[in-house]
Amino acid sequence: MEGRVSDPKRIVLFGMNGQVGGRLMATLAAAGYEVTGIDRARCDLAMATPKDIAVIIRAVEPALVINASAYTGVDAAETDATMAERVNGEIPTIMAHAAAEQGVPFLHFSTDYVFDGARGAPYAEDANLNPVNAYAISKRAGELGVRASGGTVFRLQWVFDSRGKNFFLTMKKLLAERDEVRVVADQLGCPSNALHIAQAVTVAAPKMIDGSLPAGIYHLSGGGHTSWHGFACAIAAATQSTARVVPIVTAEFPTPAARPKDSRLNSSTLASYGIGMPHWREGLTQAISDTNANS
């Protein structure tokens, strides 16, 4: 570790065009940070070498490196596990090592899917990991690699936004087109608006930079919880859809990848540092407002 003296307002952000990355670009800039966003054109993670990543970080001399890039195809990973492992496991490990070598704190995002969902209660950060699909296995590998170099991991869940590809937008479209939609009702979690995630990370950034938030694994999710069916019902009500939202069990909607039944996260640790998100219903209200503003 070189212990470089960096500008406390300078950040490198990998994955600048994703749901969370795009929001982070805006919220961090609004907070006065100078953000160098890295996209695929500048660094193709499928082919990037450790030297490529180290050179990017060294050139910027940031006070913080954030990785918001990810392979997010949960079902696709079942037949493309090698690429999922590369992007979600190997690359974050390389990034964390490069940041540590240059004395810079590093933040990476993981997922509630590293748990099997069998506990029946919200998971604390130190709960046993038991991923049930290839995507989750790759995310666990990333967590382990990041922590081995002293980096920080924020576990997220059920991320949605008013743009991109996600459950909220898919359901909003289906509710407008169909008389009936069938939605899984026996999987529990907390829908998380990408904007609220970015706002929480922006609060966390100076604490990571000055060391007042110790490096480690943390859970970041909003208040409350629901099922996918409950989320769909809330979307229907918010959009004044007259479509019927029919609850079904997971077995009636088979997918290539298994999903945890109850992956609720206990986010009280981050909350004790003044870092948190509002209730998921506020996230939905925000997404509806954003969608209406952009239409």
Q: What is the pLDDT of residues 48-85, one digit of tens each?
A: 999 999 999 999 999 999 999 999 999 999 999 999 99
Put simply, whether the predicted model's pTM sits higher than 0.75 gets the answer: yes
Which amino acid is located at 277 in the chain? M
CA angle (173 as vertex; 248, 238 as ends), nearest 5? 80
**Is 71 known to be catalytic?**
no
Task: Give the total residue count for the chain.
Answer: 295
Mean pLDDT of 220-235: 97
pLDDT tens, 78-112?
999 999 999 999 999 999 999 999 999 999 999 99
Structural tokens at position 211: 């060391």
Distance CA 242, CA 121 (A): 33
Instruction: Give the DSSP letter string of 6-48.
Output: --TTEEEEE-TTSHHHHHHHHHHHHTT-EEEEE-TTT--TTT-
Of 113, 123, 135, 218, catalytic: 135
Class of domain 10-160+192-222+263-278: alpha beta
Q: Where are the domains of the chain?
A: 10-160+192-222+263-278
